[in-house]
Amino acid sequence: GTPLPTLPDFYGGAVRLHAEPGSRFVYSNHAPTILGRVVEDVTGSTLADYVAGQVFRPLGMADSALARTPAIRATLATGHEIGPRGVRTIAERDMVTAGAASGFSTPADMARFVAALLAGGRGTDGAVLSPASLALMVAAQYRPDPLVPGMGLGFFRREIGGVEVAGHQGTHPGFHSQFLVAPGRGVGVVLLTNGTRDADFWLPTAAAGLLADELGVPRPGIRTDLPQRPDVWDDLCGWYSLPARLTDTRLRGMMGAGVEVFVAGGALRLRCLTLIPQLARGFVLHPDDPVEPRVFRADLGVDGLEPMRFVFARGPGPAAAVTLDAMPLVLPRRSQSSNPRRWALAGLGTAALVGVRLAARPRGRTTTQGRTT
């Protein structure tokens, strides 16, 4: 209900480039927000009105909007989060970054949206895209490694049982959603919830599992039919830094400074350089490709989270980087001398040594240069 600032006011009249387009993956709500502003400047219409007329109406999505209209407000569900203290009702919020959020919809309307993606961009009342444009959107526009599905235009890409899949996740306080489509197979899945716990982890996993069942392929998971390849371990061990801002709490909270790959207990392992004990202990890297020995999956031990796929850069000698399949986020290899875990351990060791020396000092009265202390 509070009036939102305009985007020029919100951004202070200017925006700064953080990453050259196509150069690396950066999760950002600001890029689609700016794109939405461009749509408004070009069309002379509000983004909400433009999307209603050019997207929702042709697709038959009568119960969807980007604005909190009276019709939306009358039927809007209440958002909840489930935590250690039980169920908590979430206050309604409007997003300044409307181009990247604030879509109100229903399961039926989202099913119509997915059906249009599977029908070459055509809905019940007309087409919103040509088949060629839609194919361009779901094709890989950024692919840092040929073994990684990469990113489309607004679509996260992946493979499930050898089938190319595209989709996106929605996260808003009290509400979570996920859709996945397999354009080549004519199958899609939509999930929405307004009351759950840790949906960021389990909702994408659930959607992938349901889609795998519909496709008749195995659900994503750890493979047990591939042997370990110790001959490549030396080239993979080391630490790989996370190229994210300190303010990127989603990535930093999970991975901290990056990841470290090491050998322990006769297995290749990976641990996140984070303060979260569960992620800092390390996980076994299981081979995930029958041909390429530098592709692995790891079960991070987080309830509901699908085993994560890691692809190390190919080439002679040590791997130059490791890519997280799901983002796709590239973590470059760094010198072991700059490994933050080593610096942290050295700092703890120094602190412990100082503590021992202080504890060993004699107590009571001593004299220094003739002065009583």
- Partners of residue 331 on adjacent β-strands: 322
Q: Are 338 and 249 in contact (CB under 8 A)?
A: no
Question: How many Cα atoms occupy the beta-carbon half-sphere of 33 within 13 Å?
Answer: 17
> What pLDDT is stored for residue 264 in this prediction?
95
The yes-or-no verdict on residue 46 having pLDDT over 70 is yes
Which residues are within 8 A (CB) of 40 and not within 5 positions of it... i.e. 6 or more apart?
Answer: 46, 47, 50
Residues 159-196: tens digit of each pLDDT: 999 999 999 999 888 999 999 999 999 999 999 999 98
Q: What are phi and psi of 88, to 5 degrees?
A: -125, 130
Token pair listed for 20: 């050259």
Confidence of residue 347 (pLDDT cuts 50, 70, 90): very low
Query: How far, in Å, CA of 51 to CA of 358, rounded?
Result: 68
Reduced to 3 states (helix: H, G, I; strand: E, B; else coil), residue 138 is helix
Return the exposure string of 291-308: e unless at least 16 CB atoms fall within 10 Å of the residue's CB, then b.
Answer: eebbbbbbebebeebbbb
- Partners of residue 270 on adjacent β-strands: 261, 283
Mean pLDDT of the chain: 88
DSSP string spanning 189-208? EEEEESEESSHHHHHHHHHH
The yes-or-no verdict on residue 357 having pLDDT over 70 is no
Residues 105-120: tens digit of each pLDDT: 999 999 999 999 999 9
Question: Is residue 74 packed enough to be buried (19+ CB in 10 Å), middle (13-18) or exposed (0-12)?
Answer: exposed
Which residues are within 8 A (CB) of 228 and not within 5 positions of it... i.e. 6 or more apart?
Answer: 267, 268, 287
Query: How far, in Å, CA of 201 to CA of 301, rounded?
Result: 11
- CB atoms under 10 Å from CB of 121, counted, come to 20
Token pair listed for 264: 């322990």
- Residue 249 CA: distances (Å) to CA of 244, 257, 314, 334, 361: 9, 12, 30, 22, 44
Q: What is the dihedral of CA 153, 158, 163, 168, to 10 degrees?
A: -60
Output the pTM of the full model.
0.86
Residues 237-262: tens digit of each pLDDT: 999 999 877 777 777 878 889 999 99
